[in-house]
């Protein structure tokens, strides 16, 4: 039964162009080109745990000490007094007003309940140092991956002429450097998907989760169907803007306000230029208009295009958030809040970050 389900799901009529079989794309020494091996789509999963381990080491032994050197606070907040009944209500997502109802049962005043609630919430909020380390890790990866991607694609024909993503498809050869670019990028997004459940909880948690899943699906399906050329362009384009997303947040947390403002201006230009400029009007336009002119369409291609459009929709949502922050920054005179999402920490909110100490606003 499982074999029947798999054969139905991976039907050649769905995933491959007309008159093409899986056997045609199976890697073999005697074939003229090196095809992608569908079994390699699972390699990024164990590799993701290598990334998680590397991140742990870098955050604890490099980023955290560096953050402390910059003066970023990372101490643990004071713990709320042990109270099993309040703890049970708190974990059920109750608000303070609901706790007042049981205050009398616990022989506590409303003020005591408020204090307990405040301390308990602070326990769940990551310190500024933790958030700085998270951004430093992502910044490091995006810089390295973007540099690596630009290096290996520089001499590839499809970087300069996107039509080469389709000319000769599906019989397009795979090089070792592109193989590593795909494996590393896929492993990183797998690691983000897993670590998101214990990372800093942000308001766009589910948007980011959908983004990671859509990206992994795009990478996996494009790999299996040998559509790796267009996949590399999408990766390169995304890494470029993410460098500035993470650098702005890291600069904000470290207190370098002027650097943060400068990077934020660059972010707006790079983000809009790549995510709502090049991505829809070059990448998606190419997959939607040029591709049908150069190769016969098949159902899977519409699946890929739909996933690209889903990413574009998320880009538009985040662009609106970034422009809202830009508007508030113009009114406030400096960049406030978080980029692309908001942390639950009060120090990230526009109403509270203006009250930071002047000594923290370094040049």
DSSP bridge partners of 343: 202
pTM of the model: 0.80
15 in a structural domain: no
Q: How many domains does the chain have?
A: 2
Task: Please check whether residues 190 and 269 belong to one and the same domain.
Answer: yes
Task: Please check whether residues 223 and 118 belong to one and the same domain.
Answer: no
Q: Are the C-beta atoms of 96 and 117 separated by less than 8 Å?
A: yes
DSSP bridge partners of 185: none
Q: Are the C-beta atoms of 347 and 72 separated by less than 8 Å?
A: no
Task: Please check whether residues 223 and 334 belong to one and the same domain.
Answer: yes
Task: Please check whether residues 138 and 241 belong to one and the same domain.
Answer: yes
Task: Please check whether residues 108 and 40 belong to one and the same domain.
Answer: no
45 in a structural domain: yes
Tell me whether the omega of the peptide bond preceding residue 120 falls within 30 degrees of 0, making it cis.
Answer: no
pLDDT of residue 325: 85
349 in a structural domain: yes
- Cite the beta strand spans of 181-229 per DSSP E: none
Task: Please check whether residues 118 and 139 belong to one and the same domain.
Answer: no
Task: Please check whether residues 242 and 263 belong to one and the same domain.
Answer: yes
Task: Please check whether residues 195 and 292 belong to one and the same domain.
Answer: yes
10 in a structural domain: no
Report the candidate in 4, 140, 114 with the shortest Cα–Cα distance to residue 59. 140
Task: Please check whether residues 270 and 246 belong to one and the same domain.
Answer: yes
329 in a structural domain: yes
Task: Please check whether residues 93 and 220 belong to one and the same domain.
Answer: no
Rounded CA-CA distance 162/85 in Å is 62
Rounded CA-CA distance 54/169 in Å is 37
pLDDT of residue 328: 84
Q: Are the C-beta atoms of 336 and 350 separated by less than 8 Å?
A: yes
Task: Please check whether residues 198 and 335 belong to one and the same domain.
Answer: yes
- Give residue 92's domain range: 84-124
Rounded CA-CA distance 311/316 in Å is 9
- Six-digit token string for 102: 């049981």
Question: Which distant-in-sequence residues (6+ apart) come within 8 Å of 290 by Cβ?
Answer: 162, 163, 166
13 in a structural domain: no
Rg value, the chain, Cα: 24
- Pick out the chain residues at pLDDT < 50: 337, 342-363
Report the candidate in 355, 362, 337 with the shortest Cα–Cα distance to residue 131. 337
- Cite the beta strand spans of the chain per DSSP E: none
275 in a structural domain: yes
6 in a structural domain: no
Task: Please check whether residues 62 and 151 belong to one and the same domain.
Answer: yes
């Amino acid at each position: 039964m499982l074999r029947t389900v798999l054969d139905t799901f991976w039907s050649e009529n769905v995933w491959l162009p007309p008159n093409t079989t899986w056997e045609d794309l199976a890697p073999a020494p005697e074939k003229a080109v090196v095809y992608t091996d569908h079994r390699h789509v699972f390699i990024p999963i164990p590799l993701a745990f290598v990334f998680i381990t590397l991140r742990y080491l870098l955050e604890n032994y490099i980023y955290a000490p560096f953050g402390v050197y910059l003066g970023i606070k990372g101490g643990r907040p004071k713990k709320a007094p042990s109270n099993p009944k309040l703890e049970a209500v708190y974990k059920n997502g109750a608000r303070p007003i609901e706790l007042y109802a049981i205050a009398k049962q616990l022989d506590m005043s409303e003020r005591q309940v408020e204090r307990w609630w405040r301390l308990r919430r602070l326990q769940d909020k990551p310190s500024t140092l933790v958030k700085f380390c998270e951004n430093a890790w992502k910044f490091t990866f995006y810089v390295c991956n973007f540099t690596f991607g630009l290096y290996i694609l520089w001499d590839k024909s499809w970087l300069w002429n996107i039509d080469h993503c389709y000319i000769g498809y599906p019989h397009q050869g795979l090089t070792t450097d592109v193989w590593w670019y795909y494996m590393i990028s896929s492993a990183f997004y797998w690691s983000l998907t897993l670590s998101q459940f214990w990372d800093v909880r942000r308001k766009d948690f589910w948007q980011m989760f959908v983004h990671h899943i859509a990206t992994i699906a795009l990478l996996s399906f494009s790999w299996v169907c040998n559509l790796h050329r267009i996949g590399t362009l999408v990766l390169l384009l995304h890494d470029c803007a993410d460098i500035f997303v993470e650098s702005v947040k890291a600069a904000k947390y470290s207190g370098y306000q002027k650097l943060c403002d400068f990077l934020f201006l660059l972010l707006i230009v790079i983000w809009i230029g790549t995510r709502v400029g090049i991505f829809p009007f070059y990448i998606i336009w190419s997959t939607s208009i040029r591709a049908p002119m150069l190769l016969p369409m098949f159902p899977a291609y519409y699946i890929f295009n739909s996933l690209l459009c889903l990413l574009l929709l998320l880009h538009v949502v985040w662009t609106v958030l970034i422009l809202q922050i830009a508007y508030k920054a113009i009114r406030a005179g400096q960049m406030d809040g978080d980029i692309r999402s908001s942390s639950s920490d009060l120090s990230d909110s526009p109403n509270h970050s203006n009250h930071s100490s002047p000594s923290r606003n370094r040049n």
